[in-house]
Amino acid sequence: MNFELFIAKKIRSGGVTGKKLAGPVIKVATLGVILGMVVMILSLAIGFGFKKEIREKIVGFGSHIQVMSYDYNESFETNPINFDPAFIEVLDSIPGVENVQVFATKPGIIKTKDALQGIVLKGVDHQYNWSFIDGVLQKGEVLNLNDSVKSNGILISEDLASMLQLELGDPVRMYFFQNSILARKFTVTGIYNSNFPEFDKTFAYVDIRHVQKLNGWEQNEVSGYEIGIEDFNRLDELTREVYFQASSRIEDDGSMMRTRSIKQVQPQIFGWLNLLDMNVLVIIVLIVLVAGINMVSGLLILILERTNMIGVLKALGAQDKSLQKVFLYLSTFILGKGLLIGNLFGLGICLLQKYTHFVSLDPVDYYLEYVPIHINLWHVLVLNLSVVALTMLMMLAPSFLVARISPVKAIRFD
């Protein structure tokens, strides 16, 4: 029989007499671990969930990687590049690339009887991936671009519709300024709301052929290619691969193409999102320290309470290392129970929020309608292992107090 384990179990169950503090101390220490794990799991799930949701909104408007004309033009009045089906096949063949689509942009002004608003028309074709817009579509439908005739539909945001007092089926007049003022008439076929006003108030979707004509381009000229990838964690790697392919191609007029990832297109937003990782890390470190200090305090109380028992066991020949193991086993019991219950409660709350959205948010302030949850079991496993390692490491210091207890004084200790 394992002597140390036997004594630890007796102390935990109250089978070894003492000053009756073991029960409350163990309960308080266990509760501290439970609360710490719940907060850490929620911090991870909410932090990564918020980051994932915001990232998907940004990618939904601009895709993961863009290939455009190699110039210093940062406006939406872009220089065209030639549409090349062979180049699309090359990009599609890169492992990890999910889809490749073309786009064209044109700034303009929407005018109604009572208001006007500057926006950017984003022209797309029948191969455009509508999955993001489908997820945020509030009314109507996405553009039907399969016909040989140009679609006169326009997809606008709920913010624009509210500002301009537009509804489904309403006509929309737009004006564009080049050498002369050009006018186009569209019909509202869909209204979306991503809760991201910086983009909602900027983009409206139309048939790419309208934008090509407004820009004076040929049918084979576009603003660029948008490339969607399967795994965001591979963004930098795939951006380099697309860059190698794009940089080797030269347009008929001698111009080249440049490649930009969504991180380079929106550096401020992704810089802000990266701060979330630091916030989550700080929260986790602080909670681990608090839980560890709570465990250390509890262990010190248990050692002091069992001073008389320690003296008796030493007098009977028990070694210091053996007695240290007793209290390390006791710490393991507390930590194990706390982790088990904490994980169950933490993951349970996360799953409840994930599927019921019972905690809502104000989209004006948070860009989301509810608290987002993203559970990564690998992150949870690493978190648990880190808590075990750091907490047990902190437990070593108070366990050495056992070696300093004198058997003669301990037996007389009251």
pLDDT band at 172 (very low <50, low <70, confident <90, very high): very high
pLDDT at residue 23, rounded to an integer: 67
For the cut 70, the answer to whether the pLDDT of residue 336 exceeds it is yes
Output 93 or 397, whichever has higher pLDDT: 93
Residue 162, number of CB atoms within 10 A of its CB? 11
| Overall average pLDDT of the 256-268 stretch | 91
Structural contact between residues 46 and 372, judged by C-beta atoms closer than 8 angstroms? yes
pLDDT at residue 347, rounded to an integer: 95
pLDDT band at 303 (very low <50, low <70, confident <90, very high): confident
What secondary structure does DSSP assign to 267-297, as a single string?
HHHHHHHHHHHHHHHHHHHHHHHHHHHHHHH
For the cut 80, the answer to whether the pLDDT of residue 61 exceeds it is yes
Q: Coil, helix or strand for 181?
A: strand
Residue 104 structure tokens: 């064209």
pLDDT at residue 288, rounded to an integer: 85
pLDDT at residue 46, rounded to an integer: 93
For the cut 50, the answer to whether the pLDDT of residue 160 exceeds it is yes
For the cut 80, the answer to whether the pLDDT of residue 37 exceeds it is yes
As a residue count, the chain comes to 414
For the cut 90, the answer to whether the pLDDT of residue 225 exceeds it is yes
Structural contact between residues 30 and 339, judged by C-beta atoms closer than 8 angstroms? no
| Overall average pLDDT of the 390-405 stretch | 76
Beta-sheet pairing, 116-124 with 203-207: parallel
| Overall average pLDDT of the 137-143 stretch | 94
pLDDT at residue 410, rounded to an integer: 59
| Residue whose entry in the numeric block shows the structure tokens 């929620």 | 42
pLDDT at residue 304, rounded to an integer: 72
- In whole angstroms, give the CA distance from residue 5 to residue 329: 6
- In whole angstroms, give the CA distance from residue 73 to residue 69: 9
Q: Which of 25-29, 283-287, 405-409 is least confident?
A: 405-409
What is the identity of the amino acid at 358? F
Output 17 or 282, whichever has higher pLDDT: 282
**% of the chain at pLDDT higher than 70:** 92
| Residue whose entry in the numeric block shows the structure tokens 């003296």 | 311
Q: Calculate Rg over the CA atoms of the chain.
A: 32
For the cut 60, the answer to whether the pLDDT of residue 407 exceeds it is yes
pLDDT at residue 291, rounded to an integer: 82
- In whole angstroms, give the CA distance from residue 11 to residue 26: 10
pLDDT band at 16 (very low <50, low <70, confident <90, very high): low
pLDDT at residue 116, rounded to an integer: 87
Structural contact between residues 193 and 136, judged by C-beta atoms closer than 8 angstroms? yes
For the cut 70, the answer to whether the pLDDT of residue 90 exceeds it is yes
Q: Coil, helix or strand for 67?
A: strand
Q: Coil, helix or strand for 368?
A: coil
For the cut 50, the answer to whether the pLDDT of residue 19 exceeds it is no
**What is the average pLDDT score of the chain?**
86
